[in-house]
Amino acid sequence: MSIDLGHLEDCFQQKFHQPPRWGARAPGRVNLIGEHIDYNGGFVLPAAINREVAMLASPSPDHEFHLYSVNYSEGFRFSSGDLNLSQRSQSGWPNYVLAVLDQLHKRGIRIPPLQVIIEGDVPSAAGLSSSAAVEVCAATLFLACIEHELPGEQLALLAQSAEHSPWVGVQCGIMDQFISVHGLEGHALKIDCRDLSYSPVQVDPRLVSLVVIHSTVGRELMKSAYNQRRSECEQALTLLNQSSGLSRNYLVQYSPEEFEIYRQNLPGLLSRRARHVISEQARVVEFEQVMNRGDFQAAGQLLQASHASLRDDYEVSCPELDCIYEISLNIDGVYGCRMTGAGFGGCAVALADPEQAETVADRIAGEFEKIRKMRPWTMVTPACRGACHWKIDSNSP
């Protein structure tokens, strides 16, 4: 829990001249392994991090919604009766909230006008799912205000459809929203993105640390390249189905052995995209097993193999992420390291010995600075719980 709620309540009082009545929070995430395979029906293995978005609300005094962002020191008002895209905000941040409201309306869930304050410390454009945290937090808050419960799976799907909608426009998989809802303290989750079943994988902070290193690069290219990778996977699946005569729905339904047999018809680029997806799926399965045995050396090797595959076959890394990866190979206390999230910038994650985690973070940042003349920020995070909500003056979290 990283946002100071007492301070946020004070800001709310100052801004809206009354105390808030409801609160919600939702974390960002770091994905340990299983990259770019959620939208291919694969397994992913993310953990919620100790950076989050928090929102507080009270009924609106008029017919409008009043949003205020502490991060941007900026307000935004709108009428929710007839939500339409012409109400999109130039500053970007309100659109995630409007997208969620729109999705609730589409499901017949009406939210009365509210005054809402928002604060977050999930770094944006860093591949740590700040947008999913906003979407999940908004959905959790709005439902709490009308005392309406949705099963976690539906909440995550609703937040994902907000991200897909024209308000935001990224055709993301389900991973980010799902872990923001379901995160579990001291555990990552292995999620089967086909049926949304999941199982906890222990990440005991006394035994292993998660070190996040920013590449110093934002992800401007991300949206178009992400959607392009999705369509390349669809093309690869069509061609594999043609050459095998099978009609599989997802790339991950091809085993590595089957892929070797049927890949001949695929042009080089599509073959490499599919090879990443199919090999990554196998790595997640193995990662869960070795983590459950506490074999962090083996887990680290899998992270490294995942990075190489994302760099060479899926081509979503960048020189800065590769630099962090290379540096980490020679740092004591690192079990393994790889880029995390969509790529093209953003962050890398390393599994490290807890006694050396802070030194590991410092040494990677120092070596990176020597080579690239910029010092990346780093953080060491435990695996945290997912979203929650509360009524002020009763059960504050």
Residue 172, helix vs strand vs coil: coil
Using CB under 6 A, list all residues that contact ligand GLA. 31, 35-36, 38-39, 129, 172-173, 175-176, 341-342
Phi, psi for 188 (deg, rounded to 5):
-95, 170
Instruction: Choose, from 10, 176, 313, 353, the residue flagged as catalytic.
Output: 176
3-state secondary structure of 152: helix
Q: How far is the CB of 156 from ligand GLA (least distance, A)?
A: 11
The residue among 58 and 340 lying less far from ligand GLA, judged by its C-beta, is 340
CB closer to ligand GLA, 303 vs 342: 342
Instruction: Map residue 372 onto helix, strand or coil.
Output: helix
Q: Would you say 389 and 22 are in contact if contact means Cβ atoms under 8 Å apart?
A: yes
C-alpha to C-alpha distance for 379 and 212, rounded to whole angstroms: 5
In angstroms, rounded to a whole number, what is the distance separating the alpha carbons of residues 152 and 382?
A: 22
Which tokens go with 104?
Answer: 């609730």
What's the burial of 256, exposed, middle or buried (CB within 10 Å: 0-12/13-18/19+)?
Answer: exposed
CB of 160 to ligand GLA, least distance (A): 8
277 versus 291: smaller Cβ distance to ligand GLA = 277
Active site residue 176: yes
For residue 177, the minimal CB distance to ligand GLA (Å) is 8
DSSP string, 232-276: HHHHHHHHHHHHH----SSGGGS-HHHHHHHGGGS-HHHHHHHHH
CA distance 23 to 138: 10
Q: Which residues are catalytic?
A: 176
